[in-house]
Structure 1
Amino acid sequence: MTASPGQGPADHDEAHEPGLGGRLNWLRAGVLGANDGVLSTAGLVVGVAGANATSTQLLTAGLAGLLAGSLSMAAGEYVSVSTQRDTEQAALAKERLELRHTPEAELVELAGLYEAKGLDPELAHQVAVQLTAHDALAAHAEVELGIDPDELTNPWHAAGASFVAFTVGALLPLLAIVLPPPTHRIWITVVAVLAALVFTGWQSARLGDADPRRAVLRNVVGGGIAMGVTYAVGTILGASTE
């Protein structure tokens, strides 16, 4: 059967491009990290602005929140991904040991896994033999563990991506609250933040093939409530100290 136009080998390769799922996960994590930076920093600076803070005080508070948030995100991501990588490496080490000492049993196990996926026993055995001859560890890691030995997660990459994403997101509310004149800075910040939350909500839904309207609505409502509450608290505290 010949391929129809637009469905040639290039399209087939694109649909199964190695590492595509991993790159989408990184992109989604970056969008969510930027969203966290926007929302947490906006809540902080709007709350401080409610207490009638000066531009210098707002800048100080915003920078402190940006650095604390980005460093916290980076450290948390590093610890989380390091734990995941350690688990993956331990599982691969165990698989190497089993392949070295019980290769026949591992071949039977691999064939059984392919049978469970729907192949008939003879074909499953042939596939297991060929994949074992090509790269036994990769074959077992993929089917048994869901791991690609050549694409283990990197904690430093994860930490760096989280730091950058949060910082980029946090800069928007920080600049929006500091640069405009005091009489307009609250509303300019609110509008800028809500616009950013619309974008991050839509983008995260698009990456996950979900309904963007619900994601955007959740983002905007949550961000609006967070800024409203922190502004009210800042206003009350500011009035009580005067």
Structure 2
Amino acid sequence: MTSQAALVLFSGGQDSATCLADALDRFDRVETIGFFYGQRHAVELECRAPLRRTIAALQPWRATLGPDHMLDIAAALAALGETAMTADIEIATTAAGLPNTFVPGRNLLFLTYAAALAYRRGLGVLVGGMCETDYSGYPDCRNDTMRAMQSALGLGLDRPIIIDTPLMYRDKAATWRLAETLGGAALVETIRTESHSCYKGDRAVLHDWGYGCAACPACDLRAAGWARYRAGAAPGGDTMDGT
């Protein structure tokens, strides 16, 4: 496994699209992995292939985009119970203080499957869009969780593996700015119009910030970040070195 070869967890959303461009810019070899887990916004999976192609063609990136891998884990997650991310349930806050869009263990499962694939493909880095700055309170997005998973996966595979989270301390405005830095206005427009983040899977209306219902938490974060980005406001947690 090499630290110059990366596997990007690529959902088809704003964050993973930005991570893909960032990985192509930084690594020598890049592949992608996606997951069908019964998400109600499965339209994001339809966005993946055209979004991958467009991003790959935008710049003379350091790496050429390699194969895409798709895993179906819907049955396993369905057996563990429904959430507002996987069923037509009204989005609300639970008694635990978390939004009911939280799918317990989702990112942990994603990283485990991704690490197993990376092992077989000789890829030493997993790149994910997990973020502590603009997120819904999901505990499996925290940096502490990522560091613990990196240690556990390295021990379990008996090989070093890096979990790289370039957005961990960037808010959504800073994520838009990173996209602009990486690929200019063309990449920003590609992510705005071709990616999908809305939890309800709504692609009926193209807003200033992209497609979505304009009411769910994912749309709220994306819209607010776009407004700050366009206004040129000071970033929140926008450090390049993750400090």
TM-score when normalising by structure 1: 0.30
Name the structure with the higher helix share.
1
User: Which structure: greater strand fraction?
Assistant: 2
The structure having more radius of gyration, on CA atoms, is: 1
Higher relative contact order (CA 8 A, sep 6+): 1
Question: TM-score scaled by structure 2?
Answer: 0.30
